[in-house]
A = this chain, B = another copy of it.
Amino acid sequence: MSTLGNSTNIFWHECPVGNHERQKLLNQKGCVVWITGLSGSGKSTLACSLGRELHSRGKLSYILDGDNLRHGLNKDLGFKAEDRIENIRRVGEVAKLFADAGLICVASLISPYRKDRDACRAMLPDDNFIEVFMNMPLELCEKRDAKGLYKLARAGKIKGFTGIDDPYEPPLNCEIEIRQKDGVCPAPCAMAGQVVSYLGRERIPAISMIYTPSIHVL
A: residues with CB less than 8 A from B are: 1, 4, 7, 9-13, 15-17, 21-22, 25-26, 44, 47-48, 51-52, 55, 58, 60-65, 67-68, 70-73, 76, 86, 90, 93-94, 96-98, 100-103, 123, 146-147, 149, 152, 158
**Chain B contacts of A96 at CB under 8 A?**
72
Interface of A is mostly: mixed
Given contacts A17-B51, A52-B17, A73-B94, are A147 and B11 in contact (CB under 8 A)?
yes
Chain B nearest CB from A36 CB (Å) reads 16
* B73, A93: Cβ atoms closer than 8 Å: yes
Smallest CB-CB A-B distances: 10 pairs: A73-B93, A62-B101, A15-B48, A17-B51, A13-B44, A17-B55, A72-B93, A10-B67, A10-B70, A13-B65
